[in-house]
Amino acid sequence: MGRINFCAAPLFLLLLSTSSLVVMVVESAIGVNWGTISSDRLAPSIVVNLLKENNITKVKLFDVDPQALSALRGTDIEVMVGIENQMLSILSTSPDVADSWITQNVSTYMTKGGVNIRYIAVGNEPFLTSFEGKLQTLVVPSLLNLQKALEKANLANLIKLVVPCNADAYESTVPSEGAFRPELTQIMTDLASFLNSTGSPFLVNIYPFLSLYQNSDFPQDFAFFNGTTHPLTDGPNVYSNAFDGNLDTLAAALDKVGYGQLPIVVGEIGWPTDGAPNANLNAASAFNQGLINHILSNKGTPMRPGVPPMDVYLFGLLDENAKSVLPGNFERHWGIFSFDGQAKYPLKLGLDSGPLKNATDVQHLPSSWCVVNPSKDISLMSKQFEFACSTVADCTALEDGGSCSGIGGKGNISYAFNGYYQQQKQDPRSCDFDGFGMITNVDPSVGDCRFPVGISVKSTFSPIKIEDKSSGSPSRGNNLGFRIRLDYFASWVVLLWVSLFL
């Protein structure tokens, strides 16, 4: 019994009283990533209600946003907060800074009726090759300082430290030969040893979508969970989806450093709905539902049969319209909900769950749109179009593969004008565009191309800070997009399929 860690959240202990047999049933939970790089942020209280309405019991934040945490006060929702990469340098060298970080950013919330903080993510993907090794040596020293701080604060048995790791930390041609990148071997050994000693899981971010996006040779059905015409055979093990292959590559890599039994949590996984040829509602729905059903079936993987990841955090909860599009236009479309909390497709997060419920308490602006004045010559509007798209309008749906890529030149400009107008809360002056714009009450949406209506100031997180565009560090980074994009090329699945097909 002493070995069973009751703090490891998803372990439910079933005591069979008649036989006094102890059976441990691992029950994975589906959580969500709540990223906030958006110029149209829903008020945190609305987001927390949305989580509750959908019985979402685990949420992962990328920072320690006081507004988000205060909205989570008094709920049972298990929270993972994040420490930005730029903090690692000081946290790794200063126990005092670690102490005050825990005191100010964690202890304050750990009161009765406070926030149920269970994990602290230390850094975000610090082992990415694009960081050129600058962060990786800071990770374990930071963990040690923070762990001591947690102990001092009497929180060490409640809160676990984890490190979100991109799948580019390991590689292989087949899962059973998975190994961490050679320069990470010692660091990963130390990290795994630390995690094992504190009863913490290994956190990994897995994106089959990016493998498909980056490589046209990648067999599409291998990204999903409905079987494949290109299974991967690895000795006695047959893989029919990229996810299992990726997880087992990690399991093998952990085994090589001596911690083959370390529990794994998927920190980020998901599928975008717009902004690329394979990014659409059907594909996102098939991937996410297939993933959830696969996890909750408790099948596990060939190397860890019956042991699915402890927890899986979908990326993401809401669309974030101010994310950098350097990795691709899809970046702003990862949400299972649109920016205003409307379910994009009827996803079921649990075996007995109903489909996602929409946020109920969101106030939209009136049914009013800004479009091109039909009596004007669109060839004169490129400056205004550029202005709208380069400031606050999200024009990613207009690009190749986007849901609005087929609406023509006039449609294009209307879409951009409308995006700007909604962001300005339908201020009539914002639809002027030197006389080229026109306000209408007729919804200009065509087919799958939706012209959004904004949300009222009341429903919005305030103040709106557009200059926050490059702050925070949600997945794929903000300012490192281009290089990170190359990193995805090097990720396991791509190497694997390049080696098999080329």
Structure-token pair, residue 311: 């927890």
Smaller CB separation from ligand NAG, 259 or 334:
259
Cα 308–chain centre separation = 19
Figure out which of the listed residues 18, 111, 226, 375 binds ligand NAG, where binding follows CB under 6 A.
Answer: 226
Q: How far is the CB of 162 from ligand NAG (least distance, A)?
A: 16
Q: Which amino acid is at 294?
A: H
What distance in Å separates the CA atoms of residue 453 and residue 423, rounded to the nearest whole number?
Answer: 9
Per CB under 6 A, does 412 bind ligand NAG? yes
Per CB under 6 A, does 55 bind ligand NAG? yes
Figure out which of the listed residues 258, 306, 366, 374 binds ligand NAG, where binding follows CB under 6 A.
Answer: 258
Per CB under 6 A, does 196 bind ligand NAG? yes
Per CB under 6 A, does 365 bind ligand NAG? no
Judge whether 467 counts as a catalytic residue: no
Structure-token pair, residue 351: 């075996």
Figure out which of the listed residues 119, 127, 202, 259 binds ligand NAG, where binding follows CB under 6 A.
Answer: 259
Residue 42: which residues within 8 A CB-CB, separation 6 or more? 50, 318, 339, 340, 341, 359, 362, 455, 459, 460, 461
Q: What is the DSSP letter of 286?
A: H
Active-site choice (27, 78, 84, 125): 125
- End-to-end alpha carbon distance in the chain: 51
Q: How far is the CB of 197 from ligand NAG (least distance, A)?
A: 6
Per CB under 6 A, does 358 bind ligand NAG? yes
Q: Which residues 99-118 are close enough to bind ligand NAG by CB under 6 A? A: 100-101, 104-105
Judge whether 268 counts as a catalytic residue: yes
What distance in Å separates the CA atoms of residue 419 and residue 342, rounded to the nearest whole number?
Answer: 18
Figure out which of the listed residues 11, 152, 298, 399 binds ligand NAG, where binding follows CB under 6 A.
Answer: 399
Q: CB under 6 A: which stretch of 111-119, 264-272, 351-359, 421-429 binds ligand NAG? A: 351-359
Q: Which amino acid is at 82?
A: G
Are 130 and 488 in contact, with CB atoms under 8 Å apart? no
Smaller CB separation from ligand NAG, 196 or 237:
196
Q: How far is the CB of 290 from ligand NAG (least distance, A)?
A: 6
What distance in Å separates the CA atoms of residue 279 and residue 212, rounded to the nearest whole number?
Answer: 10
x/- binding map, residues 144-183, to ligand NAG, per CB under 6 A? ----------------------------------------
Figure out which of the listed residues 354, 366, 374, 428 binds ligand NAG, where binding follows CB under 6 A.
Answer: 354
**How many Cβ atoms sit within 10 Å of the Cβ of residue 464?**
15
For residue 429, the number of C-alpha atoms closer than 13 Å in the C-beta half-sphere is 0
For residue 327, the number of C-alpha atoms closer than 13 Å in the C-beta half-sphere is 28
What distance in Å separates the CA atoms of residue 471 and residue 469, rounded to the nearest whole number?
Answer: 6
List active site positions: 125, 268
User: What does the binding site for ligand NAG look like in residue numbers (CB under 6 A)?
Assistant: 54-55, 63-64, 84, 87, 100-101, 104-105, 196, 226, 258-259, 286, 342-343, 353-354, 357-358, 398-399, 408-409, 412
